[in-house]
Amino acid sequence: MALKATIFKTALQIADMDRHYYQDHQLMLAQHPSETDERMMVRLLAFAINASEFLTFTKGLSGDDDAPELWDKQLNGEIDLWVEFGQSDEKWLRKACGRAKKVILYTYGGRSVPIWWQQSEAILARFDNLEIYNIPEDSVKEMATLVSRNMALQYNISEGQVWLSNDTTSVCVELECLKGG
């Protein structure tokens, strides 16, 4: 019998001073059985950083191999933003860059990221619409401590810093820009 996804109810309050975006979002987030709390919180962070009226999660790990995990897609089908996570290969990112106006890859994984980046930097340099950010391992671990089945999270974004908090804990995340931005 296959394991089922765990559902998280999440209330996000986003105050992005850099983009002048101030909105609340109510999300039902499905965590695939193979997905860690750290990865799920990276997905929520990416949502908060890129939040817009049309930004949505796709089926992700358990879904369509032809879609990103998070995207901003217009009603006419045009993809404004394609968001991926981890250490994607050149073939997948080339496909994404060909289909979307802007592609963002959020890496996380501590010591493996610099090794992946050293191998990928020259190949990925040719994609003008690709941005890559690394989330420090300590920040990812701290964000995972905020996980609960019903989360109320505040994201305050200013000058590239993201302060993520719940009722008891705050985490500061400073993304490292590897490409673009």
156 — alpha (psi -120 to 50), left (phi > 0) or beta? beta
What is the CB neighbour count within 10 angstroms for residue 26? 8
Tens of pLDDT along 55-99?
999 875 544 567 898 999 998 989 999 999 999 999 999 999 999
Low-confidence ranges of the chain (pLDDT < 50): 62-63
Amino acid 1: pLDDT: 58
Break the chain into its structural domains and give their ranges.
35-151+173-179
Q: How far is CA 135 from the centre of its chain?
A: 10
Tell me whether strands 130-134 and 150-158 are parallel, antiparallel or unpaired.
unpaired
pTM of the model: 0.93
Superfamily of domain 35-151+173-179: Restriction endonuclease-like alpha-beta roll domain (3.10.640.10)
Amino acid 8: pLDDT: 94
Amino acid 109: pLDDT: 87
- The amino acid sitting at 166 is N
Q: How far is CA 47 from the centre of its chain?
A: 6
Find where tokens 């999660």 sit.
Answer: 57
